[in-house]
Every structure is written in structure tokens, then in C-alpha cells.
Amino acid sequence: MRVLIVDDEDDIRRIASLSLSRVGGMEVTDVASGAAAIASAMANPPDAVLLDVMMPVLDGPGTLAALRADPKTSGVPIVFLTAKAMQPEVERLKALGAQGVLTKPFDPMKLPDLLRGILAGP
Amino acid sequence: VTDSFADTLLEFRREFLSGAFERLAEMEALVGRMAGPSFEESLRKLGHHLHGLAGAGGTYGFPEVSAIASAGEEACAAALASRSKPGERELAEWSRRIRSIRAALRGPDAADADTEEARDEDTLATDVLIVDDDPEIVAFLSTVCEREGFQVRTASDLARARREVEARVPAGIFLDIGLPDGSGLPLVEVVRDLPGGDSAAILVVSGAGDFANRVEAIHCGADGYFLKPLDVGALFRRLHHVIARRSLAPPRILSVEEDAGDAAFVREVLEAAGYDVRACGDASHFAADAASFRPDLVLLETAFAGETTGYELARYLRQEEGNATLPIVFLSARGGPDDRIAAIRAGGDDLLAKPVSPALLLATVAARIERSRFVNRILRRDPPSTLLTPAAFGSRLAATTERLRRSRQDRAALLVFDVDGLAAINEVHGHAAGDRVLAALGSLLTRRMRHSDGLGRLRGGEVAFVVEEMDGQEARQLVARLGGAFAAISHSGEEGDPFRASISAGVAGFGPRVHDAGQWMAAAQTDLEETKRLRKSDASAGRNSGKRPRRSPGAAPAFDVSRLPGPSVLSTRRPPRGPSG
């Protein structure tokens, strides 16, 4: 499985990347901005996108809208990564068309399973 | 997962930490600028940093950092929404938040002092003590330490170093072996015996490429050994690695709960606080889970659907000696006096009535774990004698001999220790006192030789063990130090009268001439007899003429300190005074 990780925070991007690749055995690409995410996903559509919500310039919801708008990436499951784990926020993000929401902070040993769980559906 | 994964994780964590400290410095500058006209810009940037810390903190094992930063992020958003310039009180509040985050990043030791007082600067968990008498080395290491975000203390001799560690155990110690007032190695022992001393990273730095020092350093509990000229990169990698490894693993909690809702609640509350939780939903899997997960605390539901009760599970756990100090907390729908009595009878430490508030659950769990860690520390410091029986030692020695012979190893020595005049001690101070002296010897050797297993008692009451990677001569140095340490112990007789005892040792190096365990043991025993004989004549010569006889090469070392007036720090550099002194 190929996963695109999008987060502007180096600390998060690198540990999420390490976790998914080394613990989860996934193939990982990571980028630091919404714009870079769109470019990467268009060039080489991944099997899933792990998308930070709060990013400067183009935020998570904006990136999701752009990916959904293009036929090449409209079917790619998107999972948000957010520090705001309150239920209304989670509902709002799901309503935007995300497959699910993962919260920060996360346990790097468990992140791959959580992601797989969401992608497998309810 | 592999070691290299753990190493990478630690490396990332280290970088997260250094980045986080840089952030805190920038955040402090931003708070300083908030009094100016562009306060909104400062607040926005501050919010960005807090957002980063909130997301990453818990991920890297700092849940408290996430909690404080997350609250700060909200406060930031609120301040921006109000569009009003922060006043004195708000600025002080921001400074306090930054201090709290710094304290949380630095670990639990700093949290004790995390009151309104800004005392955090001198109670850090990330401080390093540099013990070295070479001012150039001290200056150099200090510079690197500070660049790496450590607070630095220094000591130029052993006495000062002792005072420093006794005042507060640092997170890391760079310890030079050749100090003006003796070898630095005894400091390792001092630190390890202090509360919290087990977690200090002690890296021995030595000018001499003396292999015995290296082996001894590791034997007595140091975490690394580095030769001058120093490879600073390697030194600091090791320091970070040891510090992180010791603080990375969160306490493990096994939660045994059939009700899925209750189980999820417990898990959520405890995991959010940074605990490692394993849920066991089926009492029949309990034994397997407890064995494989090795919990630091067990949370037990009292009533299950089947026949088994939580009390029975607790009794099952308590059967194992190793679980004697494992905290067991019951969670029960009923919390009446009868339930409490049942809980205590079953060996439980506490009973919480459901529904339990997150705060009470967290406080109970934290207090119980802290308490059991403290108790374990005391037990470890003075371990019950764990010597092998003569028979077990005999077979262990035979196996070791065979292994050494096959691998053509010759750096090993067999050491045999005997308490001098045990019969006289029994007669004068009573047999109970004699037993206590033997126990003290067992305890000293178990502590000092913490990295060597296989200490055993012989049929004559002597204690024996094998040291590897040391030849006979190096082993004699070790023997001298152990003899000094034993002589410094004060024992008490039947009427509480204090007395001291001494030990003699026999040493036999391993070599091609040693063909089997029996032969090796005989050589060590012969050496022990020779030592005793020499010491007898030594003592009488000392009494008669005040002079010691010369020793033949390879004979026992001079450590007749049985009559030293009090505890003394001995080293191989400064031979102890003889009885004539």
C-alpha cells in the first residue's frame, strides 16, 4: 500500500513516515504542504492520503477539495490527521468527504493499524 | 520491531527535543514582543509553535507537553479573536506556560518544582555533571553540553562529585577515572545507590586504555566507556541514547474488564495520559496476558460473567514471588466495606467504585506505580541474597569452564571470597550476626557485580564467581576494591554492638593449564589459603615490628583494612594503610 503523508510539521511528518513504513510496512511519500500534496498525488495517485488539517496557505480541507475535484485523485481515500479530536470537529471533517480522522498525538507503534482500520471501513 | 527502528525513533525523539527547546526560545522572544504594536503577528506565530508542540509532544512520549500546548493553542485563538493587546497578567501567563512545557520536556524530576516559582532552571532532569580534573576537557565538554541543551555542573575531584550527586542526581555524568583524590569508579556505586540513581546515564571517560578499568566500569554499572581523545559525536550519541531509553518506556497497565464500554473508558483515560495499556476482555486469557505484557500495574474488574472473580485473579498473581510488589487496583460496581475487605484479602492495593472519575483513576494509578517503583528500588538496592546453591554453582562453573576452553578464552578469573574469622564472629557476636555478615557479603557482591550472573555459595560457606574479560592480575585489583568496600560495612552483634569484618580472596586466572572446573576451583582455593596464611603472618609481623613482609608476585593484594577506624574510600592508586598505621 502506498500512502501520501501531508503535514507541515517536520516532527510529525517524519515520525508518521517512519511508523507507516517501518511498523506498518507501507510505501510512504511525505510532503510538507497542500500544494505539494496535490502535485504528488496527481503525478502518482497513492492508495491513501494521511492529511494534516491545519496547514498554512492551503489547509487540509482545501487540499481535500482539490483532490476530490480531479478525476485522477477523486477516488483516493483521505484520512485527516488532527489535534482537535472533539466529536463535532470529527463529524465536520468526515462530512467533507474524508474516510476517517486520526488524532494527534498518536502512538507510532499503533498508527499503521489505526489507519488500516479506517481504510477497511466500518 | 528491530533495534534500528528503536534507534531511529530515539534519534527522531532527540531531534524533536532539540527542536522543541529552540521553539521555546523563539516563543519566549515572541512573548517579549507581544507588548509591542504587532502583537497579533506574535500571537499567530506563537499559536503555530503551540500547534506543533501539541501534535508532536504526545507522539514522542510527552503527553503533558501536548496537553499544555493544546490549552495554550486555544488560549492563543481566543486572544486573537478578542483582538485586544495582552496585558501584564496575560504575558506572565504565557511565560508560565512556556516554563511548564520546558519542565514537561525535561521530565518528571522538574515537575516537582513546577509551581509559580521559576525554580525550574536549577532542577532540570536534563543536566549533566562533568567530573574531570582537566580544565580543558571540562571547558570543552561544557560547551558541547550547553549546545545540546543540557545544563552543566562540574566537579574536579571525587569528593566534590560526591557532593554534587548527593545534592541531586543528574540525568547524565561524564566521569573521568583518574581523579586527584582517587579513582572515579566508586562514584558509580554512590550514584546507583541514590534514589533515582538507576536512571542516570553514567559514561566513564578514561585517559588510560586500561582494559581492567573498562571491564570494571561496566561491571560496576556504568553505561559506557570512552577513551581520550574523545569521539564527541559517539559520546553524546550514547548519552542521548541512554537518557532517552530510560525515559521512553511508559508504564504498562493491564486492564482486565469484560464490559466493552468500561474497558474503552479506562483505556482512553490512561492512554491519553501516556500509559501503555493492554486490555484483557476475557479472564481466561489473563494469565497469558500478565506473563507476556509484564504490567507495572493491574486494573481488575471484580465480577465476571463466568465463575472466576477478580479476587481470584489477584490471588493468582500474588502467588508469584516476582509479583509481590505489583500494584493491583480493583474496579468494582460495588464499593462497600465488604468489597473492600475482600479486595484487601486478595492482595489488592486499592478498590475504586464505578463509575470512577478520570481524575481519581489517574491519581490512583500514578500514585500506586510511583510507590511500587520506589519499593522496587529499595529491594534492588539491597537484594535478598540470590546466590546459587553449591550444587547449582558447581554445574554453572563446569559449563563456563567448558565454554572458555572451547573458545580458547584466557581472559577470565575465578574468585573465591571468605569472611575472615567467621567462627570467632559467631562466638563473640552470635550466630545470627555471623549470618548477617555472610548476607552482607552476598549483598555486596550481588550489587557490585550486578552485570555478572552466577554468584554462588560453596560448601565451606565461601562465595565464588567467575569474572570474564579480566585476567588474574586485573581480577586482583577488583578483589582489592571489593575487600575495601566490605571492610567499610558496619555490622551489628546480638546486643547491637557494632563491629567490622574483613574478607580474604583467592584468585585463579583461566588459562591453557586449566582443564576442568575442579582443577580451576582447586587453584582458587589454594590461592585463598595462601592469602590467609600471608595475612596471618602479615598481621603478626605488623604487631611485632610494624613492618609488613614482602609479598611474592601474584600473591594476594594488600587490603587488610579490617582494623581501619571507619568507612574509607579505597582505590588502587592509593594503597590502604596497613594495621600498623
pLDDT at B212: 64
| Residue B539 grid cell | 598481621
Residues of A with CB under 8 A from a CB of B: 9-12, 14-15, 18, 22-23, 54, 56, 83, 104-109
Please determine, for residue B251, whether its predicted confidence score (pLDDT) is greater than 70: yes
> Directed axis angle between helix B3-33 and helix B88-106, to 10°?
160
B51–chain A Cβ distance below 8 A for any pair: yes
The nearest alpha carbon in chain A to B63 belongs to: A105
> B102 phi and psi, to 5 degrees?
-60, -45
d(CA B236, CA B143): 12
* Sequence-separated (6 or more) residues with CB below 8 Å from residue B166: B190, B194
Taking a C-beta distance cutoff of 8 angstroms, is the pair A5, A17 a contact? yes
Q: In angstroms, what is the C-alpha Rg of chain A?
A: 13
Q: For residue B86, give the 3-state DSSP assignment.
A: coil
Question: Where do the H-state alpha helices sit in B148-231?
Answer: 158-167, 186-193, 211-219
Beta carbons of A105 and B8 less than 8 Å apart: no
Across B295-299, B396-400, B572-576, the highest mean pLDDT is recorded for B295-299
B3–chain A Cβ distance below 8 A for any pair: no
Please determine, for residue B167, whether its predicted confidence score (pLDDT) is greater than 90: no
| Residue B425 grid cell | 564472629
Beta carbons of A15 and B12 less than 8 Å apart: yes
pLDDT at B377: 54
d(CA B155, CA B121): 19
Beta carbons of B58 and A105 less than 8 Å apart: yes
| Residue B481 grid cell | 576494591
Across A75-79, B63-67, B182-186, the highest mean pLDDT is recorded for A75-79
B359–chain A Cβ distance below 8 A for any pair: no
Give the confidence band of B132 by pLDDT, cuts at 50, 70, 90. Answer: very high
pLDDT at A27: 95
Beta carbons of B16 and A11 less than 8 Å apart: yes
d(CA B390, CA B458): 5
Measure B284 CA to nearest chain A CA, in Å. 25
DSSP state of A19: I
Query: What confidence tens digit (pLDDT) does each residue in B476-502 have?
Result: 888 888 888 888 888 887 777 888 899
Instruction: Say how many CA atoms lie within 13 Å of B471 toward its Cβ.
Output: 8
Q: For A9, which of B8, B52, B66 is closest by C-beta distance?
A: B52
pLDDT at A62: 94
pLDDT at B239: 84
The arithmetic mean of pLDDT across residues A21-28, rounded, is 91
Q: For B57, which of A56, A105, A109 is closest by C-beta distance?
A: A105
d(CA B448, CA B216): 10
Q: Which residues of B touch A23 (CB under 8 A)?
A: 1, 5
Scan residues 54-113 of B and list those with Cβ closer than 8 Å to A: 54-60, 63, 66, 70, 73
Q: Kindly report the average pLDDT of chain B as a whole number.
A: 79
Give the confidence band of B557 by pLDDT, cuts at 50, 70, 90. Answer: very low
Please determine, for residue B471, whether its predicted confidence score (pLDDT) is greater than 80: no
**Beta-bridge partners for A27:** A2
B271–chain A Cβ distance below 8 A for any pair: yes
d(CA B387, CA B489): 20
d(CA B209, CA B196): 30
Taking a C-beta distance cutoff of 8 angstroms, is the pair A39, A63 a contact? no
Query: What confidence tens digit (pLDDT) does each residue in B440-451 have?
Result: 888 788 767 755
DSSP result, B382-442: SPPP-PBPHHHHHHHHHHHHHHHHHTT---EEEEEEEETTHHHHHHHH-HHHHHHHHHHHH
- Look up residue B347 and give its amino acid: G
d(CA B535, CA B88): 76
The arithmetic mean of pLDDT across residues B97-116, rounded, is 63
CA-closest candidate to residue B127, choices B186, B98, B167: B167
pLDDT at B474: 81
Q: Which of B79-83, B313-317, B380-384, B397-401 has the lowest mean pLDDT?
A: B380-384
Q: For B1, which of A11, A23, A106 is closest by C-beta distance?
A: A23
pTM: 0.37
Taking a C-beta distance cutoff of 8 angstroms, is the pair B415, B475 a contact? yes
Give the confidence band of B157 by pLDDT, cuts at 50, 70, 90. Answer: very high
Give the confidence band of B559 by pLDDT, cuts at 50, 70, 90. Answer: very low
- Cβ neighbours, 10 Å, residue B510: 25
Beta carbons of B54 and A15 less than 8 Å apart: no
Question: Where do the H-state alpha helices sit in B60-203?
Answer: 63-82, 88-106, 108-111, 135-147, 158-167, 186-193
Task: Indicate which of A9, A11, A19 best probes the interface with B, i.e. most B CBs within 10 Å of its own CB.
Answer: A11
pLDDT at B258: 86
Question: Where do the H-state alpha helices sit in chain A?
Answer: 10-18, 34-43, 60-69, 87-95, 111-120
Q: Which residues of B touch A54 (CB under 8 A)?
A: 51
What is each CA distance from A29 to A3, A14, A66, in whole angstroms?
6, 10, 19
The dihedral through the CA atoms of B250, B254, B260, B266 has a sign that is negative
d(CA B549, CA A56): 83
B178–chain A Cβ distance below 8 A for any pair: no
Instruction: Say how many CA atoms lie within 13 Å of B178 toward its Cβ.
Output: 8
Question: Where do the H-state alpha helices sit in B470-568?
Answer: 472-487, 517-545
Measure A31 CA to nearest chain B CA, in Å. 16
Q: For residue A110, give the 3-state DSSP assignment.
A: coil
| Residue B280 grid cell | 484483557
Give the confidence band of B210 by pLDDT, cuts at 50, 70, 90. Answer: low
The dihedral through the CA atoms of B13, B18, B19, B25 has a sign that is positive
Q: Which residues of A touch B51 (CB under 8 A)?
A: 9, 54, 83
Q: Which residues of B touch A56 (CB under 8 A)?
A: 48
pLDDT at B286: 86
Q: Which of A77-86, B237-246, B407-416 has the lowest mean pLDDT?
A: B237-246
Measure B24 CA to nearest chain A CA, in Å. 15
CA-closest candidate to residue B66, choices B272, B361, B244: B272
**b (16+ CB within 10 A) / e for B47-63:** bbbbbbbbbbbbbbbbb
pLDDT at A67: 94
pLDDT at B504: 92
Q: Which residues of A touch B73 (CB under 8 A)?
A: 83
**Beta-bridge partners for B504:** B418
pLDDT at B542: 53
The nearest alpha carbon in chain A to B18 belongs to: A11
Q: Which residues of A touch B274 (CB under 8 A)?
A: none
pLDDT at B452: 56
Query: What confidence tens digit (pLDDT) does each residue in B259-290 have?
Result: 888 888 898 888 877 788 999 988 888 888 88
CA-closest candidate to residue B69, choices B48, B89, B84: B48
CA-closest candidate to residue B228, choices B214, B209, B212, B246: B209
CA-closest candidate to residue B128, choices B148, B157, B100, B156: B148
Q: For residue A52, give the 3-state DSSP assignment.
A: strand
DSSP state of B197: G
More confident residue, B423 or B373: B423
DSSP state of A20: I
Give the confidence band of B246 by pLDDT, cuts at 50, 70, 90. Answer: low
pLDDT at B114: 36
